[in-house]
Chains A and B, each alone.
Chain A
Amino acid sequence: MNDMTPTAAERAAKLEGLGCKRKRVEDIRFVQGKGNYVDDLKLPGMLYGDLVRSPHGHARITRLDTTKAAAVPGVVAVLTADVLKTVNLAWMPTLAGDVQMVLADGKVLFQNQEVAFVVAESREAAADAVELVEVEYEPLPVNVDPLKAMAPNAPVIREDIKDKTDGAHGKRKHYNHVFSWQAGDKAAADAAFEKADVKIREFIVYPRVHPCPLETCQCVASFDKIEGELTLWGTFQAPHVIRTVGSLISKIPEHKIHVIAPDIGGGFGNKVGAYSGYICAIVASIVTGRPVKWTEDRIENLSTTAFARDFHMDVEIACTKDGKVTGLRCYTIADHGAFDACANATKWPAGLFSIISGSYDFPAAYCLVDGVYTNKAPGGVAYRCSFRVTEAAYCIERAMDIMAQKLGMDPAEFRMKNLIRREQFPYTSAFGWQYDSGDYQTALKKAMEATNYTKLRDEQKAKREAFKRGETRELMGIGVAFFTEIVGAGPSRACDILGIAMFDSAEIRIHPTGSGICRLGTKSQGQGHETTYAQIIATELGLPADNITVEEGNTDTAPYGLGTYGSRSTPVSGAATAMACRKIKAKAQMIAAYMLEVHDDDLEWDVDRFRVKGNPERSKTMTELAWAAYHEVPPGMEPGLEAINYYDPPNFTFPYGAYICVVDIDVDTGMAKVRRFFALDDCGTRINPMIIEGQIHGGLTEAFGIAMGQEIHYDPDGNVTTASFMDYFLPTAVETPHWETDWTEVPSPHHPIGAKGVGESPNVGGVPCFSNAVNDAFSFLGSTHIQMPHDHWRVWTAAENLGLHQ
């Protein structure tokens, strides 16, 4: 070796592997306007579809006449439920085991429900014809309140299953009941409450919200009549699932369906499901023999596809008088809207809600969830969260604050006392989850030190005194949240979607010159997969990340996968990528041994090469081995250098974090201004710190929107009143706070590279942190809980109720 020989560290840095703030590959096209989104697609002869929607929340259809619409010049077809019935597609199965109308069949069950689908030569003609479809409605009584859904005289939402006593998840209690689901040990929890020194109980609502990516849902369906093949481009977070579901519904053989998800303009859970517009576009293409494009407008997006949350939680905590939690109970009413179109693992009608014991050592816990039907849009997706984890985290983090308040303890101190301790991992929760790893106290301590927590409390104390003396009209609130997520769905013993185990996959081919391609079953919607998967490969195989193409979203070329949501890409496909690399590396090692004429075991890995132990001068780089794999493999060995891995994770992963927020509340207007927000996350091994930080910023901003203003609101007549960007709170750069981030790094012990997933953590932890801060501002006056969203008038009303405007 001479001085010019790069050191191992220099060679590693050149690879841009794990831990590198690698600039994103995909940005080159995006910053030039050369992204390839669904609506950019324009095929020869393409038609445009547009939907007729119900103005009513609940009504019987007494007349539906498409004659005038069909006569509009340029209109090619008008689909209604009756037309769809001829191909047995008026209804479709949902991912949650329910069925759902594709187009209104006899009645409408929520406002803006799909009633007819017009197909025309232009968007303009389709829109003109939508206006001319004549529908007469006979309004029916409406219920949009989940707490009234199971009342004896509640309006019957689902006449099709009114008399069915069994649903997809067991016995039904009422004609508007979807399912009951429970977890934990009721007897043990009840016993804990009987013995408890201190108890709290609170009714906590997580309002209905919407993921609202900037690009709405859209697709282009193109059916080739001669080949009998369907190509479907769409905004799909899970392209393979769409292919399988599409095949099951349409009876087109699965190998004759080609699903392509090009660039996606944000998903956040909105683009997991199968929506009426997709089915209509497919049928229309089959009927007309021409490609059909369907694009949602923003009102349609907010009011029909994929709401999230709408959980109404009655939570209790039992505790000793010195502040040790002993029991947890929670009864939840889950509003599923008119159809249960929840995007959950099929066996989990309430998702992973039983993560509700959070980060704390609860000896006993029990939860029960009842799902109900109402006259609202169907859905129930995980908006930037793993199935129902946000609801659980919000509930427990609010409840912990309320208990701390009752005990007269500081909320951070109370948490510190009850966090699962490092030596308890792996820790089995009262609900049976095995938390694999963590060092919670260190994380919380670090966050408290970074924000100078004690000093903040001193400042708050002084401000409260000043407020009481009438010297200020501002109240200061400090929010603390410590969340544990359960992501990476998931282990096949626990998780499937319509029977398909929730594994994921990676297929890697290394080309002779040492570059390669990796194809996966996941689908980026902005997470930067093209950049980060290549980094895993770079470190695993010692090839520069720049030499690796990452390809997703084409079901013909990618191995089967369940898609990207629930922070599952890194935990599952990231693991599959590493495991596929290890197969390749094992073969490369045999080739190296052959070339260097030593035994396999005499070789050791050195960043980008195998070298002979004790004789490092003798080595073969991975680039050399790639060439050899196509040139001089050992006798009897198959040539080539590629591998595929289907990874069935042994467990979920459990990212966690400690967040602290400071708000200043103008008591006279109700405006809560976020002064400071500090987020410490532990997502295990960090693949690309730049992208992680970006994910945290984005998730916190979405959490800020949810906590401070978002709500999909229905009036009592079933009208959705917040279905535009005027009224659905999406913060601009002006409202959005400045974010401070930090991390700890406790790798997941069961994940090949120790990574746990990060995209959803800031939403899961952010919402309770903002909410705790607002609630904390008023806690010294005896207020225990103010419902979200914490928009101006609701905060003002809380102050009004406390007599602060006298």
Chain B
Amino acid sequence: MIPGSFEYHRPSSVQEALGLLAKWGDDGRAIAGGHSLIPMMKLRLAKPAHLVDLRDIADLKGIRADGNDIVIGAMTTQYELIGSNLLVSKIPILRETSLQVADPQVRYVGTLGGNVANGDPGNDMPAVMMCLGATYHVMGKAGERRVAAREFYQGAYFTALEAGDLLTAVRIPMPPAGHGYAYEKLKRKIGDYATAAAAVVLTMSGGKVASCSIGLTNVAETPLWAEEAAKILNGSSLDAATVKRAVAAAEAITAPAADARGPAAYRTKMAGVMLTRALARAKSKAHG
């Protein structure tokens, strides 16, 4: 399993990287942690003639608060997300999710930007970003633009990124203090993609759901934002009957492929089970 030949570039700034990507067009490919791209290159399913390694670009790293948002550089690793005190206190679902991504070695190297940008429906972070209402900072020929995570995913490996674009950062509005959250992932083993997974962030007020957002992983060609299901839950006490209706609404938007994890119908049902469990756990963590 040997990749084809390529030329290697290691720019030190975003502008330099964009220049290289613009110069090489379809022959160029940005590489972040590499754990999706390098195996594809070894199988020769990807054959970039020019590899643009983003590892030395300081501007793509770091986690910082910006008003009511947290901005995370695209090259921030899962390991760094797990270790961030800021995230643990403000958006703890990120740590919970990161710990369920791949395995320890991959988490040292795998980046948030790579996870959300490559469009693999098996990746965990995209559904969480949709759930959180995150926005992606994208640099391209025409400068920076911002794309909502909920608008970003178009199909398996198809996203709003255009040739030559670079996803530079992820901007996440901080959920209110006291929010409840959970990322429930059913998988066969460590390192596996989800059979189905559900991300929930909610707030409670007087025993009722004040706000709720739901993301689903790996049960369609893209990650899913289950808007209708969340609407059903708003204002409810998460009683069994309402949860059942919401789960049915969430299941209705899934369109999973059959694979070794199970037939499509099973995976749809598992999305429902994961959502049910995520709701219960999120509720138990919420204050108010």
Contacts and interface: CB of A to CB of B under 8 A. Distances in A.
A733 to B, nearest CB: 8
B273 to A, nearest CB: 5
Interface string B158-189: 00000000000000000000000000001011
Contacts of B1: 127, 297, 299
A668 interface: yes
Contacts of A131: 4, 44
A731 B260 contact: no
Nearest to A728: B260
A796 interface: yes
B262 A792 contact: yes
Contacts of A796: 262, 266, 269
Contacts of A805: 269
A428 B44 CA distance: 58
A127 B191 contact: no
Interface of B: 1-2, 4-5, 44, 103, 186, 188-193, 195, 259-263, 266, 269-270, 273
Interface string A665-703: 000110100000000000000000000000000000000
A732 B44 contact: no
Contacts of A721: 259-260
Given A127-B2, A793-B266, A729 B273 contact: no
Nearest to A297: B1
A210 interface: no
Interface in A690-744: 709, 713, 721-722, 725-727, 729-732, 734-735
Contact of A734 (B44, B190, B266): B190
A792 B259 CA distance: 13
A124 B42 CA distance: 11
Contacts of B4: 128, 131
Contacts of B262: 791-793, 796
Contact of B260 (A727, A730, A734, A735): A727
Interface in A766-806: 791-793, 796-797, 805
A746 B260 CA distance: 44
A123 B4 CA distance: 11
Residue of B189, B259, B273 with most chain A CB atoms under a 10 A cut-off: B189
Contacts of B44: 131
Given A127-B2, A128-B4, A732-B190, A668 B273 contact: yes
A669 B190 contact: no
Contacts of A791: 188, 262
29 contacts: A124-B2, A124-B5, A128-B4, A131-B4, A299-B1, A668-B273, A669-B270, A669-B273, A709-B189, A721-B260, A722-B260, A725-B191, A726-B193, A727-B259, A729-B189, A730-B189, A731-B189, A732-B103, A732-B189, A732-B191, A734-B190, A735-B189, A735-B190, A792-B188, A792-B261, A792-B262, A793-B195, A793-B261, A805-B269
6 shortest interchain CB distances as A-B pairs: A793-B262, A127-B2, A727-B260, A732-B190, A793-B266, A297-B1
Contacts of B193: 726
B266 A709 contact: no
A131 B2 CA distance: 11
B195 A792 contact: yes
B2 A792 contact: no
Contacts of A726: 191-193
Nearest to A48: B2
Residue of B2, B191, B269 with most chain A CB atoms under a 10 A cut-off: B2
Interface in A646-673: 668-669, 671
Contacts of A669: 186, 270, 273
A726 B188 CA distance: 10
Contacts of A126: 2
Interface of A: 123-124, 126-128, 131, 297, 299, 668-669, 671, 709, 713, 721-722, 725-727, 729-732, 734-735, 791-793, 796-797, 805
B156 to A, nearest CB: 16
Contacts of B2: 123-124, 126-128
B258 to A, nearest CB: 10
A374 B103 CA distance: 37
Nearest to B192: A726
A734 B100 CA distance: 12
A128 B2 CA distance: 8
Contacts of B186: 669, 671, 792
A128 B1 CA distance: 10
Nearest to B195: A792
A734 B188 contact: no
A474 B262 CA distance: 21
Contacts of A668: 273
Contacts of A792: 186, 188, 195, 261-262
A805 B188 CA distance: 21
Given A726-B191, A732-B190, 13 more contacts: A127-B2, A128-B5, A297-B1, A669-B186, A722-B260, A727-B259, A729-B188, A729-B189, A734-B189, A735-B189, A791-B188, A792-B261, A796-B262
B261 to A, nearest CB: 7
Nearest to B273: A668
Contacts of A299: 1
B60 to A, nearest CB: 28
A719 B259 CA distance: 13
A791 B103 CA distance: 21
B139 to A, nearest CB: 32
Given A792-B195, A793-B262, A709 B190 contact: no
B248 to A, nearest CB: 14
A185 to B, nearest CB: 43
A791 B262 CA distance: 9
Nearest to B122: A726
A727 B262 CA distance: 11
Contacts of A128: 2, 4-5
Nearest to A725: B191
Contact of A793 (B103, B192, B263): B263
Contacts of A731: 189
A805 B244 CA distance: 13
A121 to B, nearest CB: 13
B47 to A, nearest CB: 10
A512 B193 CA distance: 62
B220 to A, nearest CB: 18
A396 B44 CA distance: 46
A797 B191 contact: no
Contacts of A709: 188-189
Nearest to A300: B1
Nearest to B270: A669
A555 B103 CA distance: 42
B266 A797 contact: yes
A456 B5 CA distance: 61
Given A123-B2, A729-B189, A713 B260 contact: yes
A665 to B, nearest CB: 14
B30 to A, nearest CB: 23
Nearest to A708: B188
Nearest to A127: B2
A299 B43 CA distance: 10
A131 B266 CA distance: 38
A448 B30 CA distance: 60
Nearest to B43: A299
Contacts of A127: 1-2
Nearest to B261: A793
Nearest to B272: A668
Nearest to A721: B260
Residue of B188, B193, B259 with most chain A CB atoms under a 10 A cut-off: B188
A513 to B, nearest CB: 48
A131 B45 CA distance: 12
A729 B189 CA distance: 8
A569 B190 CA distance: 35
Nearest to A724: B39
Contacts of A735: 189-190
A128 B4 CA distance: 7
Contacts of B189: 709, 729-732, 734-735
A126 B186 CA distance: 40
